[in-house]
Amino acid sequence: MSAIETRLKELGVTLPDVATPAANYVPYVVVGDMVYVSGQISMNEDGLILGKVGQDLSTEEGAAAAKTCAISLLAALKSACDGDIDRLLRVVKLVGFVNSTPDYTEQPKVINGASDFFVEALGDKGRHARSAVSAGALPLGVAVEIEAIFQIA
């Protein structure tokens, strides 16, 4: 088992299978030492995490939804690395979208659910640049969608 997967296991996290794209795109693109992962939507073993943060979900529930996106991002990264997730050098950037009400302003706290998870699971490799923006709606009505850029060896 890889060092990263050992750490994930310590955290009680198992990487899911990479989600099949719902439209005309690929899950990731590798260019040189960079991996660009398509947006991953909030879902857990029970299914999609739906709703609008600030109306249907609290900030804390939104952050938990963002963490599920981060786990799916790592699953896609593992696939891009032909199963060797230890090729990860660092998380470069996240772009997080929060399905939220017009007056909701805590999008950064929601996306912290992913950012905090990456640092907890990956240490300094998990520190990254990021954006956290509001969206009036997201695909399928999910609460959060996050895309990522990773650097690999």
> What CATH number has the domain bearing residue 139?
3.30.1330.40
pLDDT of residue 26: 97
Asked if the model's pLDDT at residue 111 lies above 90, the reply is yes
pLDDT of residue 42: 98
Residue 73: enclosing H or E segment and its boundaries? helix 59-80
> How far is it, in rounded angstroms, from Cα 70 to Cα 145?
9
Domain extent, residue 148, equals 3-152
pLDDT of residue 28: 98
- Give the range among 15-29, 84-98, 101-115 with minimum mean pLDDT: 15-29
pLDDT > 70 in the chain, percent: 100
> How far is it, in rounded angstroms, from Cα 139 to Cα 137?
7
Q: Across residues 134-144, what is the average pLDDT?
A: 97
Asked if the model's pLDDT at residue 19 lies above 90, the reply is no
Question: Is residue 153 within 8 Å of 33, Cβ to Cβ?
Answer: yes
Across the chain, what does the average pLDDT equal? 97
The pair of structure tokens assigned to 136 is 């009036």
Q: Across residues 86-97, what is the average pLDDT?
A: 98
pLDDT of residue 118: 98
Q: Across residues 41-64, what is the average pLDDT?
A: 97
pLDDT of residue 22: 84
Asked if the model's pLDDT at residue 1 lies above 90, the reply is no
pTM: 0.97
Q: Across residues 87-115, what is the average pLDDT?
A: 98
Q: Across residues 123-131, what is the average pLDDT?
A: 98
β-pairing verdict for 129-135 and 88-99? parallel
**Domain total of the chain:** 1
Question: Is residue 65 within 8 Å of 49, Cβ to Cβ?
Answer: yes
